[in-house]
A and B are shown apart, each in its own frame.
Chain A
Amino acid sequence: MRTALVTRAIDATALLHEVASEEHGATSLFLGTVRDVNDGRTVTGIEYAAYPAMAAAELSRIATEAVQRFGTERLVVEHRVGELALGDVSVAIAVSHPHRSPALDATRYVIEQLKRRVPIWKREHYSDGTNEWVDPTLAARGARISTAETNPSTPGSRLPAAS
C-alpha cells in the first residue's frame, strides 16, 4: 500500500506495474482528469491546493481502511496538486486482488471517501478570465432542497457535524 500527494505528472502505467502480482487475477485503475466544462462554464485550467500534512494523513487512513475491508495490500493512490491543464490526471487509484469484485469495490471505496474527506481544494479558471474555488456542498444543498418533498431522509456522512 502506498499513498502520496505529488506535484508532477501521474504515471498510471507505473502504478499498474507497482500493484501487479502473479497471484492477482484482477487489476482495477481509476483516473480522475480535468474536464473542460463544470456547471455550464468553460474551464481552461485548475489549481489544486491542499492542507498537505492532513491530506497525506487522511489519504493514508482511507487506503488503510480499504486494505482492511477488501483484503489486498496491493493498493496505490496518488493525488496531484498544483496547476493542472485540461485532460491532466488529477488522481489515480490502482488496486490488484485475486478477484475482480474486491478490486473494483476497493477502488470505488477509495475515490468516494477521498472526495468526501481529503482536504484538497480546486480553483477553476474560466474562459472569461474569472476563477472560483469549487464548493461541492452548494450543489448538494440545492439538490437536497429540490428533492426534500419526495425524499425526506438526510444523507449520512462520516464527517462530524460542527454544531
Chain B
Amino acid sequence: MKVPVLLFASYADAFRAPQLEVTLADGATVRDLLVRVKELAAGHALPPSPLVALNQRYAAPGEVIRAGDEVALIPPVAGG
C-alpha cells in the first residue's frame, strides 16, 4: 500500500516537501515505516528514533499502519 507521510518544520526542510509517499507491505508497522523513510536520500537528517503519529496520536514502534491512516513524522517539539 502507498502511504502518504506528513512532514513538518525541520523534517519538511530536510526532505524539501511537506509530504512524502512510501510503499509498505500490508501489516507493516511504525518500525517498518521508519526503515523505509531512512532509506530515502534525506533520511540521514532524521534522528535515530524519530517520533511517529498515527491519526494524530503518538504511535509505538510495533503499531500496525493501515490503509487510510493519517501518518506523520514528528520532529522534536518546541512549543511553549
Contacts and interface: CB of A to CB of B under 8 A. Distances in A.
Interface in B12-68: 13, 30-31, 34, 47-53, 56-61
Given A121-B75, A162-B50, A51 B8 contact: yes
- Decide if the interface of chain A is mainly helix, strand, loop or mixed: mixed
A149 B3 CA distance: 43
Contact of B10 (A79, A91, A119, A121): A121
Interface residues of A, number: 35
Contact of B8 (A49, A57, A118): A49
A121 B9 contact: yes
B77 A119 contact: yes
B69 to A, nearest CB: 13
Given A54-B72, A121-B8, A121-B9, A159 B79 contact: no
A75 to B, nearest CB: 17
B63 to A, nearest CB: 9
A100 interface: no
A163 B49 contact: yes
A162 B34 contact: yes
Contacts of B31: 162-163
Given A123-B9, A163-B49, A117 B56 contact: no
Contacts of B50: 162
Contacts of B59: 160
Contacts of A57: 56-57
Nearest to A135: B76
A91 B78 CA distance: 12
A133 B56 contact: no
A27 interface: no
Interface of A: 32, 48-51, 53-55, 57-58, 79, 90-91, 111, 114-123, 133-138, 159-163
Interface of B: 6, 8-10, 13, 30-31, 34, 47-53, 56-61, 72, 74-80
9 contacts: A48-B79, A50-B79, A51-B72, A91-B80, A120-B79, A121-B10, A121-B77, A121-B78, A162-B61
